[in-house]
Amino acid sequence: MSNLKGKVAFVGIGEVPTGRHADKAAIYHAIKSAKMAIRDAGINKDEIDYVLPTASLYSPAFNTEMVTCRVVEELGLKNCKKNVQIFSGGSSSSNALLIASTLINQGMARYVLFVHTDRLGTGVNLQQGIDLFSTAGISAEWEVPFGQHYSSIAALATTRYQYETGCTDEEMSAVCVSNRKWAELNPNAFFRKPLTIEEVMSSKMLSTPLRAKQSNMLFDGGAAFVLTSAERARDVADRPVYLLGEGGVVTHFVYSQEKDITRYGWAEAGKTAFEQAGLTPKDIDVAEIYDSYPVYQIIGLEELGFCERGEAGKLFLNGDTWPGGKLPCTTNGGMLSQGHTGAGGAVALMVEAVRQLMGKAGERQVKDARFAVETATGGTYMDSQVTILGTEIP
């Protein structure tokens, strides 16, 4: 990765509002967000020569259409050489970024379009949604028969983390409040109504100790971004966002085989990313931390070195991660407030990191943001991916 530092840049982003859009097909969200990204990049669509769609979980039939070039045809791209699906669950955007960056750096692609879309809010019924997240990335031999589910997985991690650190229910609930503060300022977020710690803690218990308002909900959505070389980026974009560092660690498939369910590989992945970027956590202006459940946002901040173990909950409780705080965190509201769109949860975080650095975040814009860190993970938190972006190259 070290030879990619500062060699590739984001020049355009696009995103449609997260929600329940029963009147719109999934391809609508893909094409609209892709057109927004191309327009934002200020390029002609026919300059795109590589398309990387990621998976849509709601429909195998529609996903096959994405694999077999529907985006290319719908956009009318005349010079596209490749259409290749990149998918690793919630870490798809991170892996697509690295693959696209390599293609660009090797001269095999000029402009790469990455696009995600899904209809988990209206394209599946309740039981189908439950079944999906009771089997995807969960061992059919050793875990599915015992009722494993993503909520129970998060509950296990939360229970263990609280036991080891003394993190309180109030601190865990404060993560949801912090994310909601940001979502209130985000027109693409589904949940924009103010939220209090009391409301979180009085909501229905779903999977002890997790409550309803500490859990994400499934929605429809779509997002896209355009990448090119740093040289071309400086010619087309007012404020290109450069890839500075990337680290990744794969730790398990079967969750019950993970040796430490409160750490994973974040520290190692983060160390690699920061070393490549030539930065430290003190240099970071915005932290876009993966947040399918509150505990993972807390673990992410601690393992990346933003605070000592057991202290992240206090940052959320004290308002340090809120708008105006000293460590703006998950500034789109995350999956807990913008909404969970399958692989799009981390796509939205990456798009938000770029948006903040480009200075296009509107009411929630972090002043003078130069450097951002973004995390992603797939399946049952099987891998830890850390990406560092910046508007300048250290």
- Can you tell me the distance from the alpha carbon of 344 to that of 90, in angstroms, rounded to the nearest whole number? 7
DSSP conformational letter for 5: T
Residue 186, amino acid? N
Please, how many CA atoms are within 13 Å of residue 168, restricted to the half-sphere of its CB?
Answer: 9
Nearest-angstrom CA–CA distance, 150 and 161: 16
CATH number for domain 2-123+218-236, candidates 1.10.15.40, 3.40.109.10, 3.40.47.10, 3.40.1160.10? 3.40.47.10
Contact criterion met (CB below 8 Å) for 137 and 263: no
- The CA angle 38-284-269, to the nearest 5 degrees, is 85
pLDDT tens-place values along the chain, 394 residues long:
558 999 999 999 999 999 999 999 999 999 999 999 999 999 999 999 999 999 999 999 999 999 999 999 999 999 999 999 999 999 999 999 999 999 999 999 999 999 999 999 999 998 998 899 899 999 999 999 999 999 999 999 999 999 999 999 999 999 999 999 999 999 999 999 999 999 999 999 999 999 999 999 999 999 999 999 999 999 999 999 999 999 999 999 989 889 999 999 999 999 999 999 999 999 999 999 999 999 999 999 999 999 999 999 999 999 999 999 999 999 999 999 999 999 999 999 999 999 999 999 999 999 999 999 999 999 999 999 999 999 999 9
For the record, the structure tokens of 380 come out as 């049952």
Q: Based on the number of CB atoms within 10 Å of its own CB, is 368 exposed (0-12), middle (13-18) or buried (19 or more)?
A: exposed
Rounded to whole angstroms, the Cα distance separating 104 from 234 reads: 15
Dump the DSSP string for 248-274. EEE--SSGGG-S-TTTTTHHHHHHHHH
Q: Which amino acid is at 266?
A: W
- Residue whose token pair is 């450097």: 371
Q: Which residues pair with 385 in a beta bridge?
A: 248, 376
In terms of Cα–Cα distance, which of 234, 185, 241, 231 is closest to 356? 241
Give the residue extent of every domain in the chain: 2-123+218-236
Secondary structure class of 381 (helix, strand, coil): coil
Distance separating alpha carbons of residues 394 and 242, to the nearest angstrom: 11
- Side-chain half-sphere CA neighbours of 67 within 13 A: 11
- Closest by CA to 240, choosing from 8, 49, 52, is 8
- C-alpha 18/C-alpha 195 separation (Å) is 19
Q: What is the pTM of this model?
A: 0.97
Three-class DSSP category at 316:
helix
* Residue 23, helix vs strand vs coil: coil
Measured distance CA(135)–CA(143) in Å, rounded: 9
d(CA 248, CA 95): 9
